[in-house]
Amino acid sequence: MTNLLLISAFFLSGLLGIIVIPNILLVSHKKKLFDIPDARKVHNTPVPRLGGLAFFPAILITVFVIDAIGMFPVFGMEVRDLIKTQTFLFLFAGMTILYLTGEVDDLVGLGYRYKFVIQTIAAVLIVLSGTYMHSFAGLFGIEEVPAWLGIAASIFIIIYITNAINLIDGIDGLASGLSIISLLTLTALLIMHSSFTYILLAIATLGILCVFWFYNVFGNARKGHKLFMGDTGSLTLGFILSFLVLHICQADNTASAVTNNWKIIVALSSLLVPLFDVVRVSLHRIRKHRNPFLPDKNHIHHKLMRAGMTRVRSVLITIIAIDVFFIVFNAVLADKINSTILLLIDITIYTAIHIVINYFIRKNNGGPSYIPVEELAKSEPELAKELGLDKTQGADQSVILNDSEESGSSVILNGSEESEKDK
φ and ψ of 142, to 5 deg: -100, 125
Cα separation, 308 vs 305, whole angstroms: 5
Angle in degrees, CA 310, 314, 317, rounded to 5: 155
Angstrom CA distances, 278 to 13, 281, 334, 342, stand at 30, 5, 23, 19
Any residues with CB less than 8 A from the CB of 280 and at least 6 apart, and which? 300, 350, 354
Q: In which region does residue 206 sit, left (phi positive, over 0), alpha (psi from -120 to 50) or beta (all else)?
A: alpha
What's at 289, amino acid-wise?
A: H
Helix (H), strand (E) counts: the chain: 15, 5
CA dihedral 22, 209, 41, 35 (to 10 degrees): 30
φ and ψ of 12, to 5 deg: -65, -45
Q: Which helix (H) or strand (E) holds 401?
A: strand 398-402
Binding residues for Mg(2+): 166, 231
Q: Label residue 67 exposed, middle or buried (CB < 10 Å: 0-12, 13-18, 19+).
A: buried
Convert 72-109 to b/e letters by CB count within 10 Å (16 or more is b).
eeeeebeebeeeeeebbebbbebbebbbebbbbbbeee
Binding residues: 166, 231
Angstrom CA distances, 165 to 198, 212, 233, stand at 20, 15, 10
CB 312 within 8 A of CB 217: no
Cα separation, 122 vs 321, whole angstroms: 32
CB 80 within 8 A of CB 70: no
CB 16 within 8 A of CB 209: no
Cα separation, 182 vs 123, whole angstroms: 20
